[in-house]
Amino acid sequence: MKNILFIVGSLREGSFNKQMAETAEKVLEGKANVSYLDWKDVPVFSQDLEVPTPAPVAAAREAVQAADAIWIFSPVYNFSIPGSVKNLLDWLSRALDLSDTTGASALQDKVSTVSLVANGGHDQAADIYRNLMPFIRTQFVDQMTTSRVNDSAWVDGTFVASEEVIADLNKQADALLEALN
């Protein structure tokens, strides 16, 4: 079975995107192995920090390299992608060997896809990922699932994926797995 690395783009304990990722994990049950990237300790990027590679960055790179694909579950912040996720992707986009900054990064040719849970700005954030993911040399599977936050989630903290969203997640999982064949 293929190994898919989930990157939850929110570090919030009760994250709705985390809950969406758990729904996608169920969709992938029996079809792929899922693991979650621990990126909470990745520092704010500075070129002055690149050598030696900070341990959380090295670990994130290793996890990405070990995976067959990455699947990002992202909130929308101010109709854009969260700065924290962009920061992580900036780190991951850097060449593994800095003597040639145009050389391969941990993301080189990695199959990638993105889902979004938010209440507004899905299209704007989707467009940013649509441009960014190929730019950082991933093989982007543009079959994005987007979901609104159900009203009750704001009260009880429980994200509920609609039947339509679950169907979309199935389509996205199939497209991702097909890209890996």
Ligand X SMILES: Cc1cc2nc3c(=O)[nH]c(=O)nc-3n(C[C@H](O)[C@H](O)[C@H](O)COP(=O)(O)O)c2cc1C
Binding site for ligand X (CB under 6 A): 10, 12, 15-17, 75-79, 117-121
The secondary structure of 69-127 as a DSSP string is EEEEEE--BTTB--HHHHHHHHHHHSBSSTTSTTS-BTTTT-EEEEEEE-SS-HHHHHH
Q: Which is nearer to ligand X, 17 or 172 (CB)?
A: 17
CB 30, min distance to ligand X, A: 26
**Residue 139: which residues within 8 A CB-CB, separation 6 or more?**
109, 110, 111, 112, 179
CB nearer to ligand X: pick between 54 and 121: 121
What minimum distance in Å lies between the beta carbon of 76 and ligand X? 4
Residue with Cβ nearer ligand X (105 or 172): 172
Nearest approach in angstroms of CB 9 to ligand X is 7
